[in-house]
A and B are shown apart, each in its own frame.
Chain A
Amino acid sequence: MQEAIAFTPQIDASSIARWLWLIPALPIVAAGVIAILKQPRRKLASSLAIGSLGISLLISVAAFAHVLSGWSHGHAVRETVNFSWLTVGTQAVELGWILDPLSALMLVMVTFVGLLIFIYSTGYMEQDENYTRFFCFLALFAGAMLGVVISNSILLLFMCWELVGLTSYLLIGFWYQRPSAAAAARKAFLTTRVGDIFFLLGIVWLFAQTGTLLFYDHGAGSMEPLALGGLLVHQSHWGLTAAGAIGLLIFAGAAGKSGQLPLHVWLPDAMEGPTPVSALIHAATMVAAGVYLIARVYPLMSAGAITHGEAPGTTTALMVVTWVGASTAVFAALIAVAQNDIKRILAYSTVSQLGYMMAGLGVGGVAVGMFHLITHAFFKALLFMGAGSVIHGAHEEQDVRRMGGLRKYMPVTFVTYAVGMLALCGVPIFFSGFWSKDSILESAHGWPLSRMPYYMLVFGAVLTAFYMTRQVSYVFLGEYRGHGHAHESPRAMTMPLAILAFFAVMLGAIGTPAWPWFRAFLGNHAAEVNPHAFAEPAWLMLLLTSCVIVVVGLGLGWWLYGNKSPRAEEPDALEKAMPPVWTVLANRLYIDELYGATVIAFYYWWAKVADWIDREVWGDLVATITAIFKGWARLNRFLDATMVDGAFDKGCEEIYNGGGVLARIQNGRGQIYLRLLAVAVVILAAVLIWSGRR
């Protein structure tokens, strides 16, 4: 990495940057419109969602082209549009968005993969009666994710981040009639919430220390040297600087979203959602949000690092990121070996690959981690959608043991899936996964502190090749063991697969050692074509290692599972070889059980205590007060019923009777009236005379 040309910063917002907010706004508006549509307006709903995201893709491509042209002219494009949202006292809460190489790349990736997933969904969800609702959630999700990507304010990022959390809850629990889906949605929401609390603490701390919410603000943002210098001076507990402590808190939030150890438990369960959701959440967007967040706050994470020569320096925060990432990579790969659900295998694979990205960020910097994120987004979306196609074709069967031989029935799916699988395994030279994984391994190899992460990642890579071979053998090779007749999926589903397969192969070309375009683009320096890089002994060593990794993994998998077509009832080949290991792995290393026995048991106990207090203490208090008021009310009722009502009724009755008597006098005969009148006059006269005499 040499700074060949001095890049001049370009910070004034161009017109494309000023309209960048349209990218997340369009899908969100589309989601709002779809929400008020009637359920049968299916075509309109999906067209709205796809159309809005398509326009977002066009704007993203335009923005990317703008950044690219600035880059090729030697400008480090970092355009921000900031505005004050509200003012509290003397502090202004500022929001804003940013256009720089990082966000431009993510925008194109998210809109492009998202669009393909949307199109795929029209085929996959065709039979579902809640088609409109599905597209509403999808569009909202995509909008929220794009909001995360363009945020220049950590608060705006957090808001979109939470929106992503909400929509992931809605989407994972889309088939909420199934108890397992509802539980998975809850689990995903609550587990990510644990990370989000730390993230929020980090945000508050960062704001308190730097006094700004913006990442970049013409020198006054929190990710710029001035603020970082201040954070480094400030010492926190346990020998950490404020920068390191805030970095760790933010990493906890990223770990929750990106399924890092120990908060990965929600991710495999989230497979309960429809498969396009799995592809969207687990490949291109939500889990990538955590990695993207770390890349976005990378200046904070790496603040104070001392660089030794060529290798980037490290900080406490980055060390934690590296170790957590490497452990997650190995750990999830181990579990993936012993799963039988086609989507669960991919889910653990995603967790494992996210570990690679984190480790890549930790050891090699933004470009290394982000490169794997981009290539992974493509091939993992491809694998998930391929798995969806398989599930669709095999009549909603998800157990790999009940598949087999689908190569013959679903040729397009098989070919594209195989491409995805080879990319994930990192088969050298031809597949994008090789180049991105290779650069992570290269950086890990050169990490000054320890070789351990490197060995862990290599071991993880062997496991990856192994479990993917196992899965593909089970699903596509041998004889068909499922029920019914398997069939190929509709064109709406296979076409996105083909497009993604193309990119899964081709994307590697942008990050080869001979032409490190990707690294240069993110690092704001010129890319040089250097064919001799392929001949360097270090790189040849690494190529050799990769070859060995892939050959060992594939070979082991083929040896155990290739063309054997085992039946569902039979024990797994690995189970026969090593029963205790298999049991532990098949039970996902008992992590869920561990949480069940500790955290959840504690909460359960605590809930019981609270319940007891509620029932016994507060309940009795409330019951006593209730009893007093009830007694008072009874007394009132008695008084009302007997006294007030009685008196009133009696009065009414008397008036009624009196009326009856008087009615009898009025019998309609004039002479009777006259007679009464005469009697009355006589009485009156008598009274007058009698009183006059006294």
Chain B
Amino acid sequence: MTPLSAYLVVAALIFAIGLAGALTRRNAILVLIGIELMLNAANLNLIAFWRYGPHPELLSGMMFAIFSIAVAAAEAAVGLGLVISIYRHAKTTDLEQTNRMKG
């Protein structure tokens, strides 16, 4: 097993765990955590492909990952803000209860 495959397997596992969490949890905070996990699995892939790719001397892969983390941080802030706003509005963070997004 090459180091790249090992990284990819680990990243796939993290992604799977995140997805499972996002789909199965009812608490909005935990769903958000699941999404964060999936995002970080993707970041791990980016770094792994950069490190074992054809041009490891260029900084492009690392820059990509850092951008992605920055966007994720902003996204987490927005997501938490939404959750707080939903909680204030409906006095709950249970996603089963918040089904008013129908068209």
Contact = CB atoms under 8 A, between A and B. Distances in A.
Nearest to A668: B102
A671 B23 contact: yes
A426 to B, nearest CB: 109
Contact of A669 (B19, B22, B95, B103): B95
B23 A667 contact: no
A678 B99 CA distance: 19
B100 interface: yes
Contacts of B31: 671
Contacts of A670: 95, 98, 101
Contact of A674 (B22, B96, B103): B22
Contacts of B95: 669-671
A636 interface: no
Contacts of A668: 99-103
Chain A contact residues (Cβ within 8 angstroms of B): what range?
10 to 19
A675 interface: yes
A476 B16 CA distance: 132
Nearest to A671: B95
A642 interface: no
A666 interface: yes
Interface in B83-103: 95-96, 98-103
A666 B103 contact: yes
Most central of A666, A668, A671 by chain B CB within 10 Å: A671
Contacts of A667: 99, 102
A666 B102 CA distance: 6
Interface residues of B, number: 12
Nearest to B100: A668
Nearest to A675: B23
Overall SS of chain A's interface: helix
Interface string A662-682: 010011111100110010000
A341 B14 CA distance: 126
Given A669-B95, A670-B95, A671-B31, A678 B102 contact: no
A671 B31 CA distance: 9
Contacts of A674: 22-23
Contacts of A666: 102-103
A669 B26 CA distance: 11
Nearest to A682: B19
Nearest to B103: A666
A669 B23 contact: no
Nearest to B102: A668
Contacts of B102: 666-668
Contacts of B22: 671, 674
A666 B100 CA distance: 11
A669 B98 CA distance: 7
Interface in A391-418: none
Interface in B60-103: 95-96, 98-103
A666 B23 CA distance: 17
A667 B95 CA distance: 13
Interface string A312-342: 0000000000000000000000000000000
B22 to A, nearest CB: 6
25 contacts: A663-B103, A666-B102, A666-B103, A667-B102, A668-B99, A668-B100, A668-B101, A668-B102, A668-B103, A669-B95, A669-B96, A669-B99, A669-B101, A670-B95, A670-B98, A670-B101, A671-B22, A671-B23, A671-B31, A671-B95, A674-B22, A674-B23, A675-B23, A678-B19, A678-B23
* Closest 4 pairs between A and B when the two form their complex, measured CB to CB: A668-B102, A668-B101, A668-B99, A669-B99
Interface of A: 663, 666-671, 674-675, 678
Given A669-B99, A671-B95, A678-B19, 17 more contacts: A666-B102, A667-B99, A667-B102, A668-B99, A668-B101, A668-B102, A668-B103, A669-B95, A669-B98, A669-B101, A670-B98, A670-B101, A671-B22, A671-B31, A674-B22, A675-B23, A678-B23
